[in-house]
Amino acid sequence: MKNVEGKVVLITGASSGIGRETARVLAGHGAKVVLSARREDRLKALAAELGESAAYLPSDVCSPDDMRALAALAKEKFGRVDVLFANAGIMPGSSMSELKVSDWMAMVDINVKGVLNAMAAVLPEFTAQKRGHILVTSSMAGTKSVPGNAVYCGTKHFVRAMLDSFRMESIQEGTHIRTTTIYSGAIRTELLNTIAPSETKAMVEEFYKNVGLEPEVIANAVLYAVSQPDNVDVSDLGVRPSLEV
């Protein structure tokens, strides 16, 4: 695709699921991808598969220094940064009454602070060049309330509100930074592995088994958003399974 070829895209959570498939799809259409995740072995294998179109850095979105290093690697390897796909996230669902406070804090660290750290790493570059594109994986849980997953819903509502507010700031400031919030439905990824064994986990797994979509669906949605002309902003992109059979 004309508007994808040659673009330099940072992807967090790239070692599996949506991040990995998005890297494959974008690289297949001529983009340069810079991969971030904590599992070095998986990043190394994916980068080897994608060849010269990819670079990688074992890194943690919870670390501002790691995110700055990721942006620096993109500039060193490919000369610039065009797109950030802030995709890393976890979903250790539970009812609030279970008081799994460490899980709550982990979701805030990765799903909220991780997105902010990644954005902070690229915003100076995007602001200076007066262009750029930030995509963030929210969730359908960011558009409604879901019992048994209150904190996760809260993190995804945060992403939705923050990115929309930032979009309006960019318009006011004339920085021309595009934003896309992706509202994914049931996607079959390793995210389910972060849910502790419980009645909630069993119900979620059954739902995903029946109607879940493969990560390639989100990857193609990202491709669509990134491929739009610079004067077209796909602010909200919902991707969910159809319940019709």
Amino acid at 228: Q
Count of residues in the chain: 245
Which residues, 6+ apart, have CB-to-CB distance to 101 below 8 Å? none
Q: Tell me the C-alpha distance between 90 and 157, whole Å.
A: 14
Helix 216-227 with 17-28: angle, nearest 10 deg = 50
DSSP for 7-67, please give it.
-EEEEESTTSHHHHHHHHHHHHTT-EEEEEES-HHHHHHHHHHHGGGEEEEE--TT-HHHH
> Containing H/E element for 203?
helix 199-211
Dihedral, 17, 125, 221, 90 alpha carbons, nearest 10: 30
Instruction: Note if 152 is an active site residue.
Output: yes
The residue annotated as part of the active site, out of 56, 152, 183, 208, is 152
Active site residues: 152
